[in-house]
Amino acid sequence: MPTILPVLHQPQLPLERLILRDPPGPDAIDMDVVIVGAGPAGLACAIELARLAKQDREADAGVSELNIAVLEKAGSLGEHSLSGAVVNPRAFQELFPDRTLEDFPFRQPVEAEAVYLLTERRAQRIPTPPTMHNKGYYTASLCEIVRWLGERAEESGINLFAGFPVDALLVQGNAVRGLRTTPSGLDRERKPTADFAEPTDLTAKITVIAEGTRGLLSQAYREWQKIGSPNPQLFALGVKEVWQTKVPLDRVIHTLGWPLPGDAFGGSFMYPLGPDQVALGLVVGLDYHDAGLDVHELLQRMKLHPLFRPYLEGGQLLEWGAKTIPEGGYYSLPERRYGEGILLAGDTVGLVDVPSLKGIHYAMQSGMYAARAAFAALKAGDASAGALAGYDRLVDESYIAADLHRTRNMRLAFKDGFFIGGAKAGLMTLTGGRFPGGRIDMPSDASVPRTPGPSAPFVSDNILTFSKVDAVFKSGNATRDSIPSHLLVGKDIPAEVAEFYTHVCPAGVYERVGDDLRVNAPNCVDCKATDVVGPRWTPREGGSGPKYRLM
Ligand SMILES: Cc1cc2nc3c(=O)[nH]c(=O)nc-3n(C[C@H](O)[C@H](O)[C@H](O)COP(=O)(O)OP(=O)(O)OC[C@H]3O[C@@H](n4cnc5c(N)ncnc54)[C@H](O)[C@@H]3O)c2cc1C
Ligand code: SF4
């Protein structure tokens, strides 16, 4: 069978729909700063901005009041948030200097940790690589973190609009002037129903894009403004479950090796979330070669391994979810993360250190830097690119850039497979990132050829292992069945490419029926994996998608 080149079947980004030159509608709401995305980056940005404005007001230094809005596509805050998570608390401490560690929404401190190399039946403990040390950090649920940050944002007088996905940027010349939300109440043919609500326009002096991984608006903005990066952004897909357990887990666990094939990059995690809950997940780089690789199914198989099974047996699956991670690191950062009237923060620009699997504190820190740059620009009455460029300097001179630079080639080394990559990554650690020198060139994930082949069917037992349909139920997804499809699929998709999509999507959105592709769009949990290597994702009616509580 011929190999599949995913990029050949992927539709273009619908730029004409995402970058609008229309003037804002007559009922447009005017703000000083509007933030897209209520994740750690967007909420930290909003809270820091409100703090700066309050400080200024109290010092009688010019700023009287700032109108700040945060728009979030999830029906309520945290419902689209998913992470591991082990959290480095340093950004929390900087954002809330008057609070103690006990105040933060963490589950428990990391007391012990272990890394294992797995084969199908065995787990060999290996020394913890320096990048994976988590002493002094805390396990947490990102949903809980986001809900807590949301409460702090509300206390600061910030306008939080949950259930309002942003559909497009409103621009004038080269400047971003605001945004337009997605309409709701359309039927499958995009005709208004009795519940139709028009899009809302918001105008702002500064728009901060903090829309997370594989952000659609940032992709559009960068394509429009031709903002490149040395390497393309690379992505991994993480599929995660939270379990109620009878056996307490006493350590943070990471694994390498099985069930991944030797030419795939990734690993698993299992974190304690208190005495009777664990989070476990599998993360796999989307540049794998086997077109039949299915991350959801691999996670199901993995749970039966003697390392995991004893913890899960007699327990109960509480929640399931999936999300991509930008893992290109330093060389995938955009050449600039600001423009006329716009700043980009967090995962949407790729501020994740993959060797340590950390992004939350980088997202929050970049949000705070965006707030400081935006505040200085507002005070100067100048939101031009020149005035906002200070944001890049803040990020570049901070620990964010230093950490990403130190591990700059580690993920890229795994392009040559797990064992060669592992050896190279070890040398990189020893030399503080100086080996092998220069930059390892990477193709985009969609440009990596895939080999179709037979894949062993997996039958779930509904006790420890679950089908995609049952998993989506456990994500709380209750998207209205009759909304228009938000997925843009290429034309005349060959059967083997349709088959590839069925494996990429952890939520069973794509089905191969004979030689045709069937799309069950309401199942989508917004993980964005197929946006990377297949059909494009676009925003849909507010409140659609998963309703995570524990992820
Ligand atoms: C499986 C997995 C494990 C991870 N483990 C860890 C870990 O252990 N420790 C760690 O520090 N980091 C970890 N990370 C990374 C970390 O979760 C991210 O770096 C972090 O969440 C990024 O924050 P953010 O605010 O930039 O984006 P997000 O948290 O993704 O927030 C973006 C928000 O924007 C919203 N949004 C998107 N598009 C729109 C739109 N058009 N309109 C309105 N709203 C929109 C989304 O719904 C979301 O709420 C992990 C990630 C994954 C997927
Ligand atoms: S269709 Fe939705 S759930 Fe499936 S891979 Fe794409 S974004 Fe993820």
Tell me which residue has its CA closest to atom 4 in ligand 2: 505
Q: Is the pLDDT of residue 199 over 90?
A: yes
Predicted confidence (pLDDT) per residue in 82-139, tens digit: 999 999 999 999 999 999 999 999 999 999 999 999 999 999 999 998 888 999 999 9
The closest alpha carbon to 42, from 363, 393, 374, 336, belongs to: 363
Question: DSSP secondary-structure letter at 99?
Answer: S
Range with lowest mean pLDDT among 41-55, 213-227, 424-438: 424-438
With beta carbons less than 8 A apart as the criterion, state whether 215 and 348 touch.
yes
The closest alpha carbon to 386, from 401, 397, 376, belongs to: 376
Question: Could you tell me the distance, in angstroms and rounded to a whole number, from the CA of residue 119 to the centre of ligand 1?
Answer: 31
**What distance in Å separates the CA atoms of residue 294 and residue 137, rounded to the nearest whole number?**
31
pLDDT at 475: 98
Question: Could you tell me the distance, in angstroms and rounded to a whole number, from the CA of residue 146 to the centre of ligand 1?
Answer: 10
With beta carbons less than 8 A apart as the criterion, state whether 97 and 279 touch.
no
| Largest CA-CA distance found in the chain, in angstroms, rounded | 72
Q: Are strands 342-344 and 201-209 parallel, antiparallel or unpaired?
A: parallel
- Share the mean pLDDT of the chain: 94
Tell me which residue has its CA closest to atom 2 in ligand 2: 524
Q: Are strands 108-109 and 138-139 parallel, antiparallel or unpaired?
A: antiparallel
| Mean of pLDDT values over 524-551 | 97
pLDDT at 455: 77
**What distance in Å separates the CA atoms of residue 144 and residue 81, rounded to the nearest whole number?**
9
| Mean of pLDDT values over 471-485 | 94
Q: Is the pLDDT of residue 418 over 60?
A: no
pLDDT at 436: 63
Q: Is 346 in the pocket of ligand 1 (CB under 6 A)?
A: yes
pLDDT at 468: 97
Q: Are strands 175-181 and 184-186 parallel, antiparallel or unpaired?
A: unpaired
pLDDT at 43: 98
Mutate to test the pocket of ligand 2, among 528, 536, 538, 540 (most ligand atoms within 8 A of CB): 528
Confidence category of residue 411, pLDDT binned at 50, 70, 90: confident
Given CA atoms 308, 302, 522, 81 in this order, what sign does their dihedral have? positive
Range with lowest mean pLDDT among 53-57, 339-343, 436-440: 436-440
Angle, to 10 degrees, between the axis of helix 40-58 and the axis of helix 360-380? 40
Label residue 224 left, alpha or beta by phi (over 0 means left) and psi (-120 to 50 means alpha): alpha
Contacts of 100 by beta carbon, 8 Å cutoff, 6+ apart: none
CB atoms within 10 A of CB 513: 9
Please name the helix (run of DSSP H) or strand (run of DSSP E) that holds residue 332, with its range, or none.
none
pLDDT at 441: 86
Q: Is 505 in the pocket of ligand 2 (CB under 6 A)?
A: yes
CA dihedral of residues 449, 451, 456, 458 (deg, nearest 10): 20
Q: Is 529 in the pocket of ligand 2 (CB under 6 A)?
A: yes
Question: Could you tell me the distance, in angstroms and rounded to a whole number, from the CA of residue 315 to the centre of ligand 1?
Answer: 28
Q: Is the pLDDT of residue 301 over 90?
A: yes
The closest alpha carbon to 484, from 184, 241, 222, belongs to: 184
Tokens linked to 29: 């709401």
pLDDT at 60: 83
Which ligand lies nearest the alpha carbon of 36?
1
Q: Is 487 in the pocket of ligand 1 (CB under 6 A)?
A: no
pLDDT at 292: 96
pLDDT at 431: 64
Confidence category of residue 62, pLDDT binned at 50, 70, 90: confident
Which ligand lies nearest the alpha carbon of 81?
1
Where does 332-458 show beta strands of DSSP type E? 338-339, 342-344
pLDDT at 147: 98
pLDDT at 422: 61
**Beta strands across the sheet bearing 123-126:** 123-126, 113-118, 252-257, 266-272, 277-285, 235-244, 316-326
Question: Could you tell me the distance, in angstroms and rounded to a whole number, from the CA of residue 257 to the centre of ligand 2?
Answer: 25
**What distance in Å separates the CA atoms of residue 425 and residue 406, rounded to the nearest whole number?**
11
Predicted confidence (pLDDT) per residue in 318-375, tens digit: 999 999 999 999 999 999 999 999 999 999 999 999 989 999 999 999 999 999 999 9
* Straight-line distance from the first to the last Cα atom of the chain, in angstroms, rounded to the nearest whole number: 39
pTM of the model: 0.97
**What distance in Å separates the CA atoms of residue 110 and residue 455, rounded to the nearest whole number?**
38
Place of tokens 């030399």: 431
pLDDT at 184: 95
